[in-house]
Amino acid sequence: MLLRILDLLRIVITCAAFFIGYSIGFANGYNPEVQLHFMIPIVIAAIAGLSGLEGLLFSDMTAEIKGFEKGSNYQKQSAIAMLSYAVTATIIYFCNWGIKAELTVFFAFIFFFFFSGINHAVDAVKNKNYKWQNINRPFITLTLIAGFFYPVYMALKNL
């Protein structure tokens, strides 16, 4: 039950970050930097931070609901990597290091998440692992990329 709540929490926080971020970005003309300054740390903390904590604190249950083997050292490494993105995004936000630093941590996060999505898709096809926690990753990743594409493109265009 707790893992389902965390899963739902990731989705709700991310959706709220997109809604509020786009509202902020288009408030007075369009300002992609303000939009991304809000969205990047929240989305990364919601997805990577909660996933990292889940992977470390509830590793066996997390592996089971995803259809993966329990006790894998790679699972712990992945959880630590996810937490590192969340902590880094939070530090960048509070230190106000600017859009280039924010985009750097975002690109590292989305790169990891993109290839993780491919890994989950391959697992679904190859091993017939159709558990929700496994098959949702490719679709969530593509949705994230689509939602971030315009503000990231516009921010890069303005650099």
Task: Spell out the per-residue pLDDT of the chain, length 159, in tens.
Answer: 788 899 899 999 999 999 999 999 999 999 999 999 999 999 999 999 999 999 888 877 776 766 667 777 778 888 999 999 999 999 999 999 999 999 999 999 999 999 999 998 998 899 888 887 778 889 999 999 999 999 999 999 999
Judge contact between 109 and 48, C-beta under 8 A.
Answer: yes
Split into its structural domains, the chain has a count of: 1
Judge contact between 144 and 113, C-beta under 8 A.
Answer: yes
* Alpha carbons 12 and 15: distance in angstroms, whole number: 5
* Alpha carbons 43 and 93: distance in angstroms, whole number: 12
Residue 29's domain comprises 2-158
pLDDT of residue 89: 98
Residue 45 DSSP one-character state: I
pLDDT of residue 63: 63
pLDDT of residue 68: 67
pLDDT of residue 137: 86
**Quick one: CA torsion of 88, 92, 95, 99, rounded to 10 degrees?**
170
